[in-house]
A and B are shown apart, each in its own frame.
Chain A
Amino acid sequence: MTKNRKLIPPAIVLGVLLIVVAIVYFVDNAGALPSFFPGHQAGSTHHHAKHGIAALLLGLGCFVFAWFQSGPARPADA
């Protein structure tokens, strides 16, 4: 896997955004979600916790990706 340090800032930004999205899903019910969020349903009191978990996992994945990109530059993957 070749390293590209230019990818670190966008990966961190994306990770933070996804964590924020996850928190919104955990805190707000479907009726209170922003209308552009998947799962938004006016008047619904259902919590889309699974959407939140998905966003959280993706966010953590972005952080892990950034962490590996910040490592030593020698190629490690054939």
Chain B
Amino acid sequence: MHDPISYFQALVLGLVQGVAEPFPVSSLGHAVILPRLLGWNIHQNDQFFLTFLVATHLATAIVLFFFFLRDWMRILRGLGRSLRDREIGQGDVDARLGWLLVVGTIPAGLLGLVLEHALRTLFASAASAAAFLILNGILLLLFERWRKRAPAVGDELGDHDAHMAQTLTFRQAVAVGTAQAAALIPGISRSGMTMGGGLLVGLSNEDAARYGFLLATPIIGAAALLKLPDLFGSAGDGVRGPALVGALAAALTTYFAVKFLLRFFETNRLTPFGIYCIAAGSICTLIFAF
């Protein structure tokens, strides 16, 4: 009996996952479309594939956490301070950012827990993922058009955590967090929705990206941890080796992708990713149709 997923396939899917998770181009959409394009016998709802994705997502979450470790330490200390004092102190940006992330994570987490299975089953095909990739691209372009303020000189300077904490209100944090849940549909990007939401409420591109990464870390990590028993149970038989390779590949590319994006968004916009999504989604839709 051969493995359900080969080491080569695991390597390719891991590399793509690591890039596509932080990039606003839908990692799940790419994970669904790519096997179909390459003629691999891998489908989104195959148990072994879901188990494999647990490992790559866990690797992504771990890299994101350690990439922003200094921020997380400040945020966690801020959360602790606010719980001790039973209030968010005046000017305590770490505590405020922490609670903004908490209230942003709750709606996405709840919707994910309740809707994940239904949406995954409903939109399982590569063709639907390609169609939603086009929609994702259109949304990215609209976010740039409707953004609250244009990029300004000096956006890349200063304390980014303070910018985020001072710009976002709790109501806006809930809205941005809820938008993440759209990424349960393959083709819609979690980071695209959070970055777009950040632009709509007045963040710069870099701060929106940074906020999106911070917001994504607990939700990706929790979703992966929730399904981790699958990887070490009988569902993981024959997958654990390729999953490890995929996870290492995803970890590597996530690190470089985040590093690249934070530099990229100092001076650039979501527009190229919007164009890419529309073009890639359109081409894939045509390929799948004929």
The answer to the question of A70 belonging to the interface, with a C-beta cut-off of 8 Å to chain B, is yes
Contacts of A20 in B (CB 8 A): none
CB distance from A71 to the nearest CB of B (A): 3
Contacts of B106 in A (CB 8 A): 57-58, 61
Q: Is the interface of A mostly helix, strand, loop or mixed?
A: helix
**A50 touching B87 by the CB < 8 A rule?**
no
* Cβ–Cβ contact A70 & B114, under 8 A: no
Query: Is B150 an interface residue, CB under 8 A from the partner?
Result: no
Tell me how far the C-beta of B137 lies from the nearest C-beta in chain A, rounded to whole angstroms. 31
In the complex, the answer to whether A58 meets B86 with C-beta atoms within 8 Å is: no
Tell me how many residues of A have a C-beta within 8 Å of chain B.
18
Contacts of B88 in A (CB 8 A): 1, 76-77
Would you call B86 and A67 a contact (CB within 8 A)? yes
Chain B residues with CB under 8 A of A71: 85-87
Q: Does B73 contact A (CB under 8 A)?
A: no
Q: Does B83 contact A (CB under 8 A)?
A: yes
Residue of B nearest to A67 (CB): B86
Residue B69 lies at the interface, judged by CB distance under 8 Å to chain A: no
Interface flag for A47 (CB, 8 Å): no
The interface residues of chain A lying within 8 Å CB-to-CB of B177 are none
| Closest-CB distance, A55 to chain B (whole angstroms) | 9
Question: What residues of A have a CB within 8 angstroms of the CB of B116 in the complex?
Answer: 50
B109 within 8 A of A: yes
Q: Is A54 an interface residue (CB 8 A)?
A: yes
Contact between chains at A68 and B110 (CB < 8 Å): no
Whether B110 lies near A58 (C-beta < 8 A) is: yes
Complex interface: chain B residues within 8 A of A61 (CB): 106
In the complex, per-residue mask of A49-67: 1 if CB is within 8 Å of any chain B CB, else 0 = 0110110011001001001
Residue A72 lies at the interface, judged by CB distance under 8 Å to chain B? yes
Nearest-neighbour CB distance to chain A for B57, whole angstroms, equals 16
Alpha-carbon distance between A67 and B170 when the two chains are bound, in angstroms: 17
Residues from chain A with Cβ under 8 Å of B83 in the complex: 64, 67
Docked complex Cα distance between A1 and B170 (Å)? 10
CB distance from A42 to the nearest CB of B (A): 20
Contacts of B85 on A, CB cut-off 8 Å? 71-72
- Asked whether B89 lies within 8 Å of A76 as measured between CB atoms, the reply is yes
- Distance to closest chain A CB from B169 (angstroms): 9
Contact with A along B97-113 (1 / 0, CB 8 A): 00000000010011001
10 closest Cβ pairs, A-B complex: A71-B86, A50-B113, A71-B87, A54-B113, A76-B87, A76-B88, A54-B110, A72-B87, A68-B86, A53-B113
What residues of chain A have their CB less than 8 Å away from a CB belonging to chain B? 1, 38, 50-51, 53-54, 57-58, 61, 64, 67-68, 70-72, 74, 76-77
Interface residues of B (CB under 8 A from A): 82-83, 85-90, 96, 106, 109-110, 113-114, 116, 170, 226
Given contacts A50-B114, A64-B83, A77-B88, 11 further A-B contacts (CB under 8 A): A51-B113, A53-B113, A54-B113, A61-B106, A71-B85, A71-B86, A71-B87, A72-B86, A76-B89, A76-B90, A77-B96
